[in-house]
Amino acid sequence: MKLLSQKTISFYLTCLGIMFMSSCAQTPSYEEGIKIIVTPHKLSVCSGSEDKIFVKLLDKQGGPLFGVKINATSTSSTVATIMPEALTDAAGKAMFTVKGISPGTTGIVFSVAGQKATMEVIFIEH
C-alpha cells in the first residue's frame, strides 16, 4: 500500500476546503429577515461620470451573508445604468458601479430574496 505524500495530502485538504467554502454560499429563504444596507443613501453626481455604491447584507441576527446574489435596477435607464447583479463577499458586502447617462433623477432598487432597498441618484450637467 502506497502512502500519500504530505504535499498530496495538503493539496487534497485545500481542495476539500475550497469545495466546503463554495458549498456554504447562502441562499436565504423568503421568510428570513435580511437587512439591506445601502451606502450612500443618496448620490448626486455629474452626468457622464461613474460612482460606486456599496450594499451590505445582514441576517436577522446581524451577521454578514456570504455569497448571496444582489440584483440591482435603475428605475430610469435613460438617466443612469447600474451593474445588474453582484455577489456578497465574506463580510456580506457587494459593490456596484452606477453610470450617469443624462441629467435627471432615478431610483436604484436593490433586491434580495423578495426584499428591496432603494436609493435616489441625481445626475446633473457638468
In this structure, is residue 116 part of a structural domain? yes
In this structure, is residue 10 part of a structural domain? no
The pLDDT mean for the chain works out to 83
In this structure, is residue 9 part of a structural domain? no
Percent of the chain scoring above 90 in pLDDT: 58
Sheet holding 50-58, edge to edge: 35-39, 50-58, 93-100, 80-82
119: CATH: 2.60.40.10
pTM passes above 0.75: no
| Amino acid letter, residue 119 | M
Q: Provide the domain count of the chain.
A: 1
In this structure, is residue 3 part of a structural domain? no
Q: Which domain holds residue 79?
A: 33-124
In this structure, is residue 7 part of a structural domain? no
Which strand (E) or helix (H) includes residue 15? helix 6-23
In this structure, is residue 11 part of a structural domain? no
The pLDDT value recorded for residue 22 is: 47
In this structure, is residue 18 part of a structural domain? no
Q: Where would I find the beta strands (DSSP E) of the chain?
A: 35-39, 42-46, 50-58, 69-74, 80-82, 85-87, 93-100, 104-112, 115-124
pLDDT in tens, 49-63: 899 999 999 998 999
In this structure, is residue 22 part of a structural domain? no
